[in-house]
Structure 1
Amino acid sequence: MQRWKRHGTWARLGALFACYLLLPALMTAAIGLGNASDLGMVAFILMLFIAFPLATIVLAAWDAVTEGFTVLWTVMPIVFFVVPTVIFFNESALIYGAIYSLLAVTANKIGSLFHSKSHSTNSPRES
């Protein structure tokens, strides 16, 4: 099966996109749109520095362990982060999308080291 047709990778990428959209939406709903308090600013900063990187690393590593390395994790985190940047943040937050992509590629590469490769039983192994 081709790597692009595996549903597990697309499901984990969809979960990352949902995380990027739902966390700021829930935070905005909890804090309120009209009330720009210091607590709200701290919550958004913690989201940018802790929640999003953690979700990106966990999902990218999980995908690598189960499916192997893929280049999708190079591009998709920054593409997915554009929408929340436009809705909830400003353009200066786009640099974090690039950082999340770097974290995702690193986690995906490290996780692929633990991916168990299937061996063909049709031909004997050479010693």
Structure 2
Amino acid sequence: MRWATRSTWIRIAVLFGIYLLVPAAWFSLSRVSDSMEIVKSLVFLILLAILPVLAMAFGAWDGVKEGLSLLWLLAPFVCFLAPMYLFLNDSALIYGVGYSLLGFGAHGLGALAFRKRARGQ
């Protein structure tokens, strides 16, 4: 088990950037859109599909490349805090917890692949 490598921090920084960009794009669209139905549909798509998939993808990627790190238990949650307060509200906090659980679960599966690959060499 490791704390973090430089590439882990880079992956977390990229995740944070994407976590900011996706809600920012939605927020911009919501300002110019006349249809509230589309705006509401997009926010649920972002919260329930896009952001969790990103957390799992980046967590698994880091697990496969670097092995297990407890940092991924908190990284998706911390990355979600800024966009949550900027574009959403406190009621979305539970989603950040879910993203961390999903991200860490995917990271753990990726770390298993890393472990098998390291033993095979």
* Length-normalised TM-score, structure 1: 0.84
Structure 1: unaligned runs, 5 residues or longer: 121-127
Larger Rg: 1
Distance 1:5 1:23 in 2: 26
Distance 2:87 2:26 in 1: 10
Residue 5 and residue 78 in structure 1: after superposition, are their counterparts in 2 closer, same or farther (change >3 A)?
closer
Distance 1:8 1:50 in 2: 25
User: Which residue does the alignment assign to 1:86?
Assistant: 85
Distance 1:39 1:45 in 2: 10
RMSD, aligned CA: 2.3
Q: Higher relative contact order at CA 8 Å, sep ≥6: structure 1 or structure 2?
A: 2
User: Aligned pair 1:15/2:20, yes or no?
Assistant: no
Residue 31 and residue 82 in structure 1: after superposition, are their counterparts in 2 closer, same or farther (change >3 A)?
same
Q: Residue 74 of structure 2: SS of its match in structure 1?
A: helix
Aligned length: 119
More helix by share: 2
What stretches of structure 1 move > 4 A for 4+ residues in a row? 33-36
Per-residue deviation, 1:71: 0.6
Q: Output one character per residue of 1:12-34: Cα deviation in whole Å (capped at 9) or x when no partner.
A: 10111011100011122223168
